[in-house]
Structure 1
Amino acid sequence: MRSPAAFAPPPSLFLPLTEAVCKGLAAGEPLEDFLSQAGRPQLAALMLLLNLDALMAQNTAVEQLERMLDDVMRAAASVEDAGGRFADLLRGRFTAERLAAGLAVIEVAGLSLLEEVDIERQDYLDGEGQWDFGFGLRHRDTLEPLTREIVMPSGDVLRLSDQQSRIFDEFKVCNEESFHLQAYAGVGKTYLLAKFFEVLVPDKTLLMATFPGQVAALQARVRQASPDARINACTFGHMANLLLNRDLTARGWRNTDTHRTGASSLVDDRQVAQWLNFQAVGALQPRDVARVCRSTVHSFSLSSRATIEARHLPSLGHAASQADIALLLEYSRVLWRETVRPSAPHIRLPIRNSHRIKFLALTDEVIPENYTHIIIDESHELTAPMVQILDRSPQAVITLGDEFQQLSGKAPRHGGFIRQRFMTQSIRAGRQMADVLNPMIQLHPSDIKEGFVGRAPYPTRIIGHGVMPIPEKPTTILVANEWGLFAWFKRLTEAGARFQLPPRTLEHLTLFVKGLDLLYREDLRPQHRLIFRYAYWDALASAMGGSHEFKAVHEWLGQGNRLQDFIETAQRFCNDPAAILKLAKVEDVKNQEFDSVLLSRDLMRPPRAGSVHSLASVCSLLYTASSRARHELLLPGNMNDWLQDLGRK
């Protein structure tokens, strides 16, 4: 592969033309309307744009481009002083195609367009009406997102954006009250959170998150700002265990069997069915009934409901009678009771954090009152039971998150008594990212509709492709799930491209391929969550229809490939730490950012008809994947039209 090309630099030459005018002319709007109103600076800027593609092919530096702009303005003045019209010369050279070609490279050239208000100020002209070569530096300073300096108690100087500083000021004044900060991707919320910690009393402040990795990242960030501070931090699962294990009454759930809580605690569905005496339900065999009940209890454990209901049942892949549904619900309630209080010593069902947190939510327990403040990062990961516990606890609870990054659907909301504030200005992405993310925000079923604003000093190039190329510079390829992973795995390995797969991602993909192999060869029901419901290959083929991802799998298996072939291919192509490509699921990179990101077409999956959570999940996948990019984002070329179609439906 070729060496990576440079990303677009921060702009240093700002042309006195608006984006709306340029895009309109490139799309075929009448040139005469523009010529009748444009001044000499606008005419010169348009002339430069018409030649920009050719000038960039000659590697013309931005400093030389600015001198050319000044030369054109002076030439225009000479033409007009001699009684001619510079507009006539421009008219003879103008074509919409040449302008479109210039706009396509404007960011790479280090150029940017101005807003209408900046054009009207004419700060780009000096006292004599000529081009002011100092304007670019002055104007770029006004676009710098981190503009306010605050001296902290430690003596450190804190640089914040306007939005960050307003939130910080409000927090200092009202830090005894709970509030939630809805912070879009890249706005610097974790940085701000660490600064909140410096204002509070560390011994009385508890940092919490859903996953251990999030807690570790949060602690590391706070230690950067307060190296000597005592940090109280834990996951919700750890707190649930502390609270439940101190209750020695019969109403509590004190867990003394640590083996059942370990990650290695796994029980086969056949064994569960045998322990609990599950019988067949309709077309489901006892082991399948156990699997359905396990999924139902998991859904119940993440919900705000006090009892297991039909809404918690997973899709069965077939129509079920009311009697079958009632029996599955009763079996699920048995599974929940036996998880909490086994009726016999030999029944040792796995205990997960979600079970413990749900049980805690069903009590009246609160976070210990020796803490005065609770700070939670990535709060969109909170489950409904976690929110219930927080909302009834006596502390001031400060949560920071982005509900558009909740990949499983709509994020649970706090009680209406909690203040909500917004941070919408990203310091990670350029202004171009707004055109990508705002349609997703508007389509998302959330009632939050504040517009995303890109404030990074550099542009983020948005590049659409019909057929996605294999990138030739360092790029992270993001997919929705294992179907997309395998399709790209097959494409990359067949092209001889080496790439990185995160270890856990490879582990899940291997289990997926194993399940497909056994289903295809022997009609054995797979264990992977995406395909466990299918007992026959034909049933899977019928459900997947003619999707590109399924065709890739079917073709690969039809060529005689087996699981061992996949493992050997992965060892050959995915073990090079210097590989410039990275392949991952969106959920694997939620807290990461990359210079260049490619969105796989499988992210554009139609939501289930009538399902609000399905629509939310689709929008959140695309939003989260897109917002990982700093400098370049490669999109399926028809994604905007696809989103508009979803909106109309």
Structure 2
Amino acid sequence: MTSPAYALPLTETDLGAFLESGAVPTTALERAGLFAAALCQQRPHHPAALTRLLDDACALFVAQPDAAVGQFQALRSALPPTADDWLHGLAAQGVVLGPDAVVARYAQASPDAYPVDAFQADSQVTLEPHTLRFATEAAYAEEGHVADDSQRAPAFVERTHSYTQEQARALRAIIANDHEHIDLDAYAGAGKTHLILQLLDSGARRYTYIAPRAGQVQAFRQRLSAALPVQVVSQIAFANHVAGDAFRRGLLRTAWRPVFQISKHALRDIAARIELQSIGSFAPASVLRIALEGIATWCRSTTLQLAPRHFARAVPWTVIDSAALMAAAEHVWRSMFDPQLQRHALLSVNVDHIGKWLALHQVSVPATWGTLLIDEGHDLSPAWKALLSSYEGAVISLGDPNQRLVGHAPRFATGMTLEIDQSVRQGRLVEQLVNETLALDPGNRYEAPFVGSADQPTLSSTYTAWSDVPVSGARIYGSPWRLLEEAQRLAAAGAAFSIHPDSLATLGREVTRGAEAYRELTAHGGSSQRWEDLLAECEEQDLAQIPRMFMRGYNRERFVELMERLLPFHDAALQLMLVEHAKNAEFANVAMSRCCFRTGFTRQYPHNPVRAAYTAMTRGTRQLWLPGDALEELQLSMQRYQERRTEQRRSKAAPPGRPYRGG
């Protein structure tokens, strides 16, 4: 949750009347609010200074009521002409106007004084106290078995906390449907983490909270009482546990227990070890890369058979033997679960791979985990969603389908869907921007629009030149090459900054790719398709300096030098990251590079551009910077994205290979 804004005792209605006709509010309190709002247009004021100003202004307008009109008219000519300008000026200082009902109540009860603490507390209207009754686990166990009511465990535990109306409604639905499978869709910043903590902290059921990453597991454990019946695990740990249980029960046709692992072997070495053959002009390492990309697409699909269409993104069918590639991919898949080959982690195995393997073997998740509470459930693969759909206990999947950058968020086979549209992170001044962005995606599933918080003064600003954005806060990029170029420029200037660890890993892979492509160029007498692809990619993104870096000797060693001068990510005032790594984070200030909106030129185009832009623009609580033509660029990017999807659908008509049914 973010810190609340400072609310002035003035409504938008009264501000509009003053700007339109010069009408001044009737009470001293509201006049003081208008006076403070006017002075904030001329220079910033600290909250403590605003409180003193409001106190003094109230006293002045009580003592000299007839002088108010003349004073305001003298100010009016030097002030912005529109209410929107005023609201933006206030938001830049963390100030908002008070809610109509609250201002009216205080203007009537205290027209000539400013009760600051009570007014500020009552102006926080997005979150309000709600009392919820949670049925206890003991009550479930004893229901119908204890004759003496005096010996029965308490049937309910009551908790009062602050929630939005939608949060409270969603929690009541979850409480009332204690054996249901629930998809809870909530816009970014709607308080999903708050809901999770409240459910876990209730102690009413035995929960298993499944977090996307190990870091979230540690953070949640620190915020929960050790006495609560809660198990907190990462998705990786959960997948390993389920696979291990299935292995012990003899449900998997393999002598190797599937486990998450990351290979440190080069593709060339892996291809040689599994005796992968060339296909046409594609060397074994290239065949392995294509096979792994196709397998990854298959594992995130609903189909149980590996099919040629899963490779449409990885390679055009016109330049490869599809039947041979299918056979190679089937061989790679079997190798991923071969006990001899995987003894030393030859091939990487991720959560999606494990989920598909379990689905192929029709494994069910044992009902020993209690109620499953899944964070960022929108990123679950269809295979995992199907496995959890058969779970005998309750499953609550919390997510935001608009933050699933590739594909669509799957649903439970049966169950209910809840929605939360009210943000507690971002204010109403960005409502239109967010909703206009989402409107560009025809796949947006939300029925209701994004609603900003009246308590948050989030301000969106446009820049003409990148040098206009602040030198602190988060900077988000859609292109790793653009991020690399920026990082090298900042390092050369001696700036102190950091890069998100996951983005840093992506940059490392791209640097290796660029260095190897240039090395291939020089080794083959000036001929390299990989280098030509890199040149075209950088030309389309107006990053001609990137190829020149490699031509001047930039390589992995130079990149390591950059890594060594970076600050720890959370310690830096300036933080750089790719859009896909901005999830589950929030920052006071966010600047989005143009490459967040101008995408879709290269053959490799994994992200839905609207969802990527939405994910980035919903990170900032106070100020969001974006290029002035951001939505126009995003619309063109979405057109390219849809054209690419049409091309991929056409590629599915290519001669099919033999479908693979697993085993």
Q: TM-score normalised to the size of structure 2?
A: 0.77
Instruction: Report whether the alignment pairs 1:582 with 2:575.
Output: yes
How far 1:367 sits from its partner (Å)?
Answer: 1.1
Gaps of 5+ in 1: 1-6, 26-30, 526-533
> What aligned pairs does 1:159-174 form with structure 2 within 5 A after superposition?
159-174=162-177
Instruction: Report whether the alignment pairs 1:603 with 2:593.
Output: no
The answer to whether the 8 A contact 1:8-1:461 is kept is no
Instruction: Report whether the alignment pairs 1:325 with 2:322.
Output: yes
CA change 1:234–1:366 in 2 (3 A) is: farther
Instruction: Report whether the alignment pairs 1:227 with 2:215.
Output: no
Instruction: Report whether the alignment pairs 1:195 with 2:198.
Output: yes
CA change 1:449–1:600 in 2 (3 A) is: farther
How far 1:434 sits from its partner (Å)?
Answer: 2.6
CA change 1:273–1:18 in 2 (3 A) is: farther
How far 1:363 sits from its partner (Å)?
Answer: 2.7
Aligned to 1:399: 397
Instruction: Report whether the alignment pairs 1:62 with 2:50.
Output: yes
CA change 1:638–1:191 in 2 (3 A) is: same
- Shifted more, 191-200 versus 592-601: the winner is 191-200
> What aligned pairs does 1:480-491 form with structure 2 within 5 A after superposition?
480-491=478-489
CA change 1:265–1:473 in 2 (3 A) is: closer
Aligned to 1:428: 425
Aligned to 2:138: none
Distance, in Å, in 1 between the alignment partners of 2:228 and 2:119 is 40
Residue type matched to 1:17 in 2? E
How far 1:231 sits from its partner (Å)?
Answer: 2.6
Distance, in Å, in 2 between the alignment partners of 1:118 and 1:413 is 40
> What aligned pairs does 1:197-216 form with structure 2 within 5 A after superposition?
197=200, 205-216=207-218
Aligned to 1:547: 541
1:53 to 38, 41, 59: 41
**How many pairs align?**
607
The answer to whether the 8 A contact 1:524-1:535 is kept is no
Distance, in Å, in 1 between the alignment partners of 2:118 and 2:94 is 13
Distance, in Å, in 1 between the alignment partners of 2:248 and 2:540 is 55
Gaps of 5+ in 2: 135-155, 641-663
Distance, in Å, in 1 between the alignment partners of 2:410 and 2:90 is 42
Residue type matched to 1:229 in 2? P
Aligned to 1:28: none
How far 1:486 sits from its partner (Å)?
Answer: 0.3
Distance, in Å, in 2 between the alignment partners of 1:226 and 1:344 is 41
Aligned to 2:253: 252
Query: Residues 85-112 of structure 1: CA distance to partner in whole angstroms, max 9, x if unpaired?
Result: 9799579827756977655422345643
Distance, in Å, in 1 between the alignment partners of 2:83 and 2:544 is 41
How far 1:382 sits from its partner (Å)?
Answer: 0.7
Identity of aligned residues (%): 22
2:8 to 13, 34, 37: 13
Residue type matched to 2:253 in 1? G
> What aligned pairs does 1:437-456 form with structure 2 within 5 A after superposition?
437-444=434-441, 445-455=443-453
How far 1:296 sits from its partner (Å)?
Answer: 1.1
CA change 1:362–1:345 in 2 (3 A) is: closer
How far 1:397 sits from its partner (Å)?
Answer: 1.3
How far 1:334 sits from its partner (Å)?
Answer: 3.0
Distance, in Å, in 2 between the alignment partners of 1:230 and 1:584 is 33
Query: Residues 126-157 of structure 1: CA distance to partner in whole angstroms, max 9, x if unpaired?
Result: 489x6663489537514343322437767765
Distance, in Å, in 1 between the alignment partners of 2:564 and 2:261 is 30
Instruction: Indicate the SS of the match to 2:189.
Output: coil
- Shifted more, 499-508 versus 177-186: the winner is 499-508
The answer to whether the 8 A contact 1:463-1:633 is kept is yes
How far 1:163 sits from its partner (Å)?
Answer: 2.2
Q: TM-score normalised to the size of structure 1?
A: 0.78
- Shifted more, 47-56 versus 479-488: the winner is 47-56
The CA RMSD over aligned residues, in Å, is 4.5
Instruction: Report whether the alignment pairs 1:275 with 2:256.
Output: no
Distance, in Å, in 2 between the alignment partners of 1:607 and 1:586 is 15
The answer to whether the 8 A contact 2:475-2:575 is kept is yes
The answer to whether the 8 A contact 1:62-1:110 is kept is no
CA change 1:189–1:58 in 2 (3 A) is: closer
Instruction: Indicate the SS of the match to 2:467.
Output: coil
CA change 1:390–1:218 in 2 (3 A) is: farther
Aligned to 1:106: 90
> What aligned pairs does 1:384-395 form with structure 2 within 5 A after superposition?
384-395=382-393
Distance, in Å, in 1 between the alignment partners of 2:196 and 2:270 is 46
CA change 1:108–1:268 in 2 (3 A) is: closer
> What aligned pairs does 1:176-575 form with structure 2 within 5 A after superposition?
176-197=179-200, 205-221=207-223, 224-225=224-225, 227-229=227-229, 231=231, 233=233, 235=235, 236-248=238-250, 252-255=253-256, 262-264=261-263, 266=265, 268-269=267-268, 271-272=270-271, 275-281=274-280, 283-316=281-314, 320=318, 324-340=321-337, 350=347, 352-353=349-350, 354-415=352-413, 417-444=414-441, 445-455=443-453, 457-469=455-467, 474-523=472-521, 535-548=529-542, 550-559=543-552, 561-572=554-565, 574=567
Distance, in Å, in 2 between the alignment partners of 1:220 and 1:48 is 42
Distance, in Å, in 2 between the alignment partners of 1:482 and 1:94 is 46
Aligned to 1:531: none
How far 1:425 sits from its partner (Å)?
Answer: 2.3
Aligned to 1:593: 586
